[in-house]
Structure 1
């Protein structure tokens, strides 16, 4: 039975959810946002969980909240709660299900179509922006990949996607604000040239197609839980 309510876990108080609230609402699911800093909800109270992205690494145990969120996510999975992980969220979900996360040999940035060895319908292209990658959890189905990294997997009622199906211009603006406001981000901008401006323009240009693709992906996810 499709849940009527979902909880989205964000990793910064300034994070936004892109197109997800509107698209989930169109599909009959109301999305509540809970920053990890506000405390994680009781797993027994959840109908559906969405774990969002972060510029942090899903293996960086210097983060004060990471170990607690991983333990919480393992508890969520033990209870069979339908879960969608996006980018960082897909990596942490992979860890919770027994997979691993590692620094990839090269970053993957840009719009990429997927290879879909299991016949998954959602080939994109999707926006990737990541430096780390996951190994699909043991017993999972690899749904999509590129030459650089696994991109999507499903295990039971959980699905992780390395890319950002929810991206829109407002969400990208929070990324650029982070880059301008942190030392790590400033280092990236120093070598990025006009990449941020080009990425934002392309996100705007692709928004109608990308939202349609994202809605189809979400509908498929909901129909398989």
Structure 2
């Protein structure tokens, strides 16, 4: 199984999802930066696009190029999974929009509305933007006025961060302490929650990763290749 991973920021790596793809599925990962995104899909079995502190509405050249690439991949019925910024740029590529929400979310939060327990969480969030979807897109989770998961054809997006390890969460907390204050958290409490959820919910996380892959239509034959 070949996976093209678009790492939109070194601050948001593939993390635990990469461990799952390699350990459970034997995937080969090709990790590229946003400037290296090709014009059209190649022979990869799956595209994963990751988080970024940037906003899709900034419309930087690399974002426009990636949006065109994702639109082509989705139109060609190729499997695509997006996380946080990755979900937002998928939403824009299929005719939705992205805008600042007016507040910033940080910490481990359960989704109030979900298509099933696998989407409910709690999952860690770290975002200040929100996405709006065009008609006909299936919403899989919502919370506090934000879409947290959706599917369109073989493209699946999650606003939250199931890939985030304890180390990744700690790096975000150290870089943006004002986000913790805005959410009534301190560093020690966040890391206690992170330890409990990362270590204690491994089965739930694996189930979510498997559901993302299933919904993206990643074939068992591709997964075993």
1:115-194 equivalence runs, <5 A: 115-116=112-113, 118-119=115-116, 121-176=118-173, 179=175, 185=176
What SS class does the counterpart of residue 56 from structure 2 fall into? coil
Alpha-carbon deviation of 1:119?
Answer: 4.1
Inter-partner Cα distance in structure 1 for 2:118 and 2:207? 9
Does the 8 Å contact 2:11/2:52 carry over to 1?
Answer: no
Does the 8 Å contact 2:9/2:53 carry over to 1?
Answer: no
Where do 5+ consecutive residues of structure 1 fail to align? 180-184
Aligned to 2:90: 93
Inter-partner Cα distance in structure 2 for 1:191 and 1:132? 15
Inter-partner Cα distance in structure 2 for 1:147 and 1:138? 20
Q: 1:164-184: CA deviations, max 9, x gaps?
A: 01111222244356x2xxxxx
TM-aligned CA distance change 1:23 to 1:133, over 3 Å = same
Aligned to 1:11: 8
TM-aligned CA distance change 1:137 to 1:196, over 3 Å = farther
Inter-partner Cα distance in structure 2 for 1:53 and 1:122? 19
Aligned to 1:207: 198
Inter-partner Cα distance in structure 1 for 2:180 and 2:142? 27
TM-score by length of 2: 0.83
Number of aligned pairs?
214
Does the 8 Å contact 1:142/1:152 carry over to 2?
Answer: yes
- RMSD of aligned Cα (Å): 2.5
What SS class does the counterpart of residue 162 from structure 2 fall into? coil
Aligned to 2:102: 105
Where do 5+ consecutive residues of structure 2 fail to align? 218-225
Aligned to 2:24: 27
Does the 8 Å contact 1:95/1:137 carry over to 2?
Answer: no
TM-score by length of 1: 0.83
TM-aligned CA distance change 1:27 to 1:139, over 3 Å = farther
